[in-house]
């Protein structure tokens, strides 16, 4: 991986670890090449990628792809997560709402920390792309 501002990485996931752990490691590896990133930005990015990947595994039929890069102007980190479901993430409104279903609390975190969030259908599922500040 180079120090180029448009660095791109794809997570390498082994059967021995949860995909979210591989995703956090990939984000950290990319941020190691971004001058001026803050520890808060690193923590936020690791949290958001964990939520996105966990949602893909738990609700999206499985993780198809994770890509991580830096915006053209170098001010943001973008994350793309693809899974096999076309269903968009939804936030729960209350703790007691459909407790049997589980989940629904990480998506508001993603929406709050990201400067942009975009979901689109792709062949065989969906792609969610978020951008997070690096400073």
Provide mean pLDDT across the span 12-24: 80
Instruction: Give the bridge partners for 121, in sequence order.
Output: 126
What percent of the chain is modeled with pLDDT above 90? 61
Q: Which of 87, 113, 89 is nearest to 27 (CA)?
A: 113
What the block records as the tokens of 81 is 């997560």
What the block records as the tokens of 69 is 């890069």
Q: What is the CA radius of gyration of the chain?
A: 15
pTM (2 d.p.): 0.85
The 10s digit of each residue's pLDDT in 50-104 is 999 999 999 899 899 999 999 988 899 999 999 999 999 887 665 555 555 566 6
The band of 9, judged by pLDDT with boundaries at 50, 70 and 90, is confident
Position with higher pLDDT, 7 vs 129: 129
pLDDT reported for residue 43: 97
Helix (H, G, I), strand (E, B) or coil at 59: coil
Q: Which of 7-21, 28-42, 104-118 has the lowest mean pLDDT?
A: 7-21
The band of 4, judged by pLDDT with boundaries at 50, 70 and 90, is very low
């Amino acid at each position: 991986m180079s120090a180029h501002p448009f660095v791109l990485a794809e997570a390498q996931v082994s059967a021995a670890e949860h995909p979210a752990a591989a995703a956090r490691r990939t984000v950290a590896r990319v941020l190691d090449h971004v001058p001026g990133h803050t520890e808060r930005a690193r923590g936020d990015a690791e949290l958001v990628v964990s939520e996105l990947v966990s949602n893909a595994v738990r609700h999206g039929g499985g993780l198809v792809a994770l890509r991580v890069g830096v915006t053209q102007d170098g001010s943001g980190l973008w994350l793309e997560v693809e899974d096999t479901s076309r269903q968009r993430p939804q936030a729960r409104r209350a703790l007691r709402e459909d407790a049997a279903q589980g989940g629904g609390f990480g998506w508001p975190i993603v929406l709050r920390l990201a400067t942009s969030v975009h979901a689109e259908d792709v062949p065989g599922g969906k792609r969610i792309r978020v951008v997070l500040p690096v400073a």
